[in-house]
Amino acid sequence: MQVGSRTLSSPVPCTNPAWGRSAGQARWKPWSRGPQGQQWSLLTVAEPPAPGICSPGGPPGAAARTRRRSGAGGMVSTYRVAVLGARGVGKSAIVRQFLYNEFSEVCVPTTARRLYLPAVVMNGHVHDLQILDFPPISAFPVNTLQEWADACCRGLRSVHAYILVYDICCFDSFEYVKTIRQQILETRVIGTSETPIIIVGNKRDLQRGRVIPRWNVSHLVRKTWKCGYVECSAKYNWHILLLFSELLKSVGCARCKHVHAALRFQGALRRNRCTIM
């Protein structure tokens, strides 16, 4: 499995998909092994910030957009994903571990919405992800007006899936996830298709400090809430790949449901060749 990404600090322009590519600096990460032995690799492209606002766009509940990418060999599905959680649970650490294979012991609070644009090829099919890393919010916006009035919440109601992260050693962080999930269900537009929600228990490396037994949480989330559940460790890169594999399955990637998750770039691995996706 391989992932390519562009990282942009919100707000950023999005009128020209090719913006900033010539200024990007690309670097390859070494191969690593994922769950079930699939291979992952990573291409990171850093782009300079620019004025303007990048909105995910699209009406709430809209189906994933598709577009034709030059050289990708077919239509590309685009899925917007929101990452939410209380302060200090490791939301940004999970995203950065997935994209850059890096982890910092220093906790830097997220104060503004951040947008990441990775491109993955899963089982031979290209998928664009728009990962929106949100700072802790006091409440889920009840309507579009409230959503766009707060810069930190822009695009929150129109995503295709939610990743709700909590700290397995902090009971309050789980209560925060519980509250946000309920607000999502109550405030999303009535009549739209059900939006997948994945509950993520981070900091599995601190297992001895767990405050709620894993079985109890898993049973509540899977049986009662009908949501996906994954426990991971951003620090040790444990189950991070599994989380995003489950994410692609949950957003309706039919090609990904009954086959092993093998992600790769098409034609991007030749020696001395770099492809920005």
CATH of the domain at 227: 3.40.50.300
Of 253, 59, 244, 53, the residue nearest 152 (C-alpha): 53
The token duo for 180 is 């946000």
CA nearest neighbour of 127 among 269, 273, 251, 257: 251
Residue 208 lies in a domain: yes
8: in domain: no
Residue 48 domain flag: no
Sequence-separated contacts (24+) of 35-40 with Cβ below 8 Å: 35/239, 35/241, 35/242, 35/245, 35/261, 36/260, 36/261, 38/1, 38/241, 38/260, 38/261, 38/262, 38/263, 39/1, 39/2, 39/262, 39/264, 40/1, 40/2, 40/3, 40/241, 40/263
Dihedral angle sign, alpha carbons of residues 183, 257, 123, 34: positive
Predicted pLDDT of residue 264: 38
Per the listing, tokens 């990775």 go with 118
Domain of 208 in residue numbering reads as 78-255
Output phi, psi for 92, to 5 deg: -65, -35
Beta-bridge partner residues of 119 = 4, 128
Residue 218 has what DSSP assignment? H
Here the contacts of 184-187 (C-beta below 8 Å, separation 24 or greater) are: 184/140, 187/140, 187/141, 187/142, 187/143, 187/157
* 85 found inside a domain: yes
Could you report the per-residue pLDDT of 241-276, keeping only the tens digit for each? 999 989 988 887 644 544 444 443 333 333 333 333
Which tokens in the block code for residue 97? 């571990």
In this structure, is residue 12 part of a structural domain?
no
Ranges of residues in the chain with a pLDDT under 50 are: 7-32, 38-63, 68-73, 190-191, 254-255, 257-277
223's CB contacts (< 8 A; 6+ apart) are none
Residue 224 within any structural domain of the chain: yes
pLDDT per residue over 217-228, tens digit each? Answer: 999 999 999 999
Predicted pLDDT at 123: 72
The per-residue pLDDT for 122 is 74
In whole angstroms, what is the distance from residue 199 CA to residue 132 CA?
16
Residue 21 lies in a domain: no
**275: in domain:** no
Q: Measured between alpha carbons, how far is residue 147 from residues 10, 137, 151, 157 in Å? A: 15, 11, 8, 7
pLDDT at residue number 250? 87
Task: Please choose, from the candidates 165, 158, 127, the residue with its C-alpha nearest in 3D space to the C-alpha of residue 144.
Answer: 158
Alpha carbon distance 158, 188 (integer Å): 9
Give how many domains the chain has, as a whole number: 1
The whole-number pLDDT of residue 17 equals 35
